[in-house]
Chains A and B, each alone.
Chain A
Amino acid sequence: SQQGEEDPQALSIQEGENATMNCSYKTSINNLQWYRQNSGRGLVHLILIRSNEREKHSGRLRVTLDTSKKSSSLLITASRAADTASYFCATYDDYKLSFGAGTTVTVRA
């Protein structure tokens, strides 16, 4: 069964705007990871946040983790057309990652 659930399912924004997507999960985790998938391609790892971390940054990406609420958020600042993709959260537990269904982000020029 899927551990993580992303919200919203789809997001359309103007170039230069920020995009925020959320992930909720059900059980305790070792870490939470975010991945990007461009159409027809494999997934690419974006960022990993451990269960004892609350916030992490990587370039234009900011990830937060609230273990008490079992939720995480991914913020993409100053979006670009190249950010158009599906974004997945994945929780690591018991030797494996469990992926959510993803958020599809469309960045309009």
Chain B
Amino acid sequence: NAGVTQTPKFRVLKTGQSMTLLCAQDMNHEYMYWYRQDPGMGLRLIHYSVGEGTTAKGEVPDGYNVSRLKKQNFLLGLESAAPSQTSVYFCASSLQGPNEQFFGPGTRLTVL
């Protein structure tokens, strides 16, 4: 099993450009999450999904959109990137909400 994978690993964008981060899990987990991690801070939840076709806002959702069209995939979109979105993005999944979360390796995004 690959667990949780993220694509791409690194990306540099210019302000105003758009991009989509892909997260895939092969553990048949119901719940999936997108976090961002900034220096000196813990992870902050951007959006999450409790099942295929559902999404919900987390702590810092502004400037991001998500979609969960298939159970195994959770996409994070940036429509118009801003320098404040420079961060490391982590995707995670869990069997159910209260269970342990399995994290992907992260995507390092720089917005110039």
Which A positions have Cβ atoms within 8 angstroms of B? Answer: 1-2, 4, 30-31, 33, 35, 40-45, 48, 88, 90, 92, 95-102
Contacts and interface: CB of A to CB of B under 8 A. Distances in A.
Interface residues of B, number: 27
Contacts of B101: 33, 43, 45, 97
6 contacts: A4-B42, A33-B100, A48-B99, A96-B97, A99-B42, A99-B43
A4 B99 CA distance: 18
Interface string B96-109: 01111111111000
A42 B42 contact: no
A62 to B, nearest CB: 18
A41 B106 contact: yes
Q: Which 8 A-B pairs have the closest CB atoms?
A: A99-B42, A42-B103, A45-B100, A99-B43, A43-B103, A101-B42, A95-B97, A42-B105
B50 interface: yes
B2 interface: no
B84 to A, nearest CB: 18
B103 A97 contact: no
B108 to A, nearest CB: 9
Interface string B73-112: 0000000000000000010100001111111111000000
Given A45-B101, A92-B98, A102 B42 contact: yes
Interface of A is mostly: strand
B61 interface: no
B48 A43 contact: no
A14 B98 CA distance: 35
B55 to A, nearest CB: 12
Contact of A41 (B40, B43, B105): B105
Nearest to A33: B100
B48 A96 contact: yes
Interface in B23-42: 31, 33, 35, 40-42
Nearest to B94: A97
